[in-house]
Amino acid sequence: MAMHSEIALPRKVRLVEVGPRDGLQNEKAIVPTDVKVALIDKLADAGFAAVEATSFVSPKWVPQLADAADVMARITRTPGVAYPVLVPNMKGFEGALAARVDEIAMFVAATESFSQRNTNCSIAESLERAAPVFAAARANGMRVRGYVSCVLGCPYEGDVAPATVRDIAARLVELGAYEVSLGDTIGTGTAGKTRLLIDTVAQAVPVAMLAGHFHDTYGQALTNLYASLEAGVATFDCSVSGLGGCPYARGATGNVASEDVVYLLDGLGIDCGIDMTTLRIAGQYISSALSREPASRVARALNAKSAAAQ
């Protein structure tokens, strides 16, 4: 454990880059497949242990990711890097299997309203749909990551009880998830609530199997991530340049920016294996492809510094 003040923090953190999926899924204008592929390859080069590449969901629901099979066929698969994809049902699993995917992510909401809006079914139905997918993944040697959405608030129902999240996370582990990522889909969480959530979920799922997935809508993502580090969480999802949101959570902005997370962890002396320069260049690449400035404050500061030095 690295010491910071009197609090012991994890020495190493594993970062899952979700920009190509969670980030791009929220873009209205269709991003060319070539750009997605180049972005994924650049992120793998930056040192991420996992780059969530796309989703095998209904193209009617998320048109941006309709090219999932093409993306998977064209990326360079760097040894040691996982390229998980989102899968909601057996149809998605079959697509992922045909695309030689090595890891899938199953997502379940913590509230009934969000479950209906996001996947057109109840929480119980989505867990029922998940069971055969877990079994098929196991039979095909694929790892399964679980996600719980709306863990710190729902756009339709407001507050969410930590015990509800705990029970869904525990069910995902029972089904075979090697890890459960706790998603603050709309970014309304704050540090105290985050700590209470992690401590509550850890009653049923070991903290080593938990990941934090914080959207930054209210500017709290990095603080919530720090509160999770203090609670012993050592895996976090982040999105290059702070891309993204969820199309079924209106107004939700991107995940915590990868550049901001790496800067924080570097400052704390926590190893996350990412090369900031390669990451920053990947961020510049996608930001210019989308014709916008990166949402990451760290990326903007480093880009300005690098421009001034030239």
Q: Does 22 bind Mg ion (CB under 5 A)?
A: yes
Q: Which residues bind ligand HMG (CB under 6 A)?
A: 22, 25, 55-58, 60-62, 86, 88-89, 91-92, 95, 107, 118-120, 147, 149, 183, 185, 213, 215, 246, 248
In DSSP terms, which residues pair with 257 in a beta bridge?
239
Nearer to ligand HMG, 130 or 268 (CB): 130
Q: Distance between CA atoms of 82 and 61, rounded to whole angstroms? A: 25
Nearer to ligand HMG, 104 or 268 (CB): 104
Could you say which of Mg ion, ligand HMG, none residue 119 binds, taking C-beta under 5 to 8 angstroms by partner kind?
A: ligand HMG
Q: DSSP string of 280-308?
A: HHHHHHHHHHTTS--S-HHHHHHHHHHHH
Could you say which of ligand HMG, Mg ion, none residue 122 binds, taking C-beta under 5 to 8 angstroms by partner kind?
A: none
Q: Distance between CA atoms of 245 and 66, rounded to whole angstroms? A: 17
Q: At a CB cut-off of 8 Å and minimum separation 6, what does 248 contact?
A: 114, 117, 118
Residue with nearest beta carbon to Mg ion:
22
Burial of 273 per CB tally in 10 Å (0-12, 13-18, 19+): middle
Question: In whole angstroms, how close is the CB of 185 to ligand HMG at the nearest point?
Answer: 3
- Checking DSSP bridges between strand 2-4 and strand 7-9, what pairing results, if any? antiparallel
Active site residues: 246
Looking at this protein, which amino acid is placed at residue 123? Answer: I
Nearer to Mg ion, 176 or 247 (CB): 247
Could you say which of Mg ion, ligand HMG, none residue 284 binds, taking C-beta under 5 to 8 angstroms by partner kind?
A: none
Question: In whole angstroms, how close is the CB of 156 to ligand HMG at the nearest point?
Answer: 14
Residue with nearest beta carbon to ligand HMG:
183
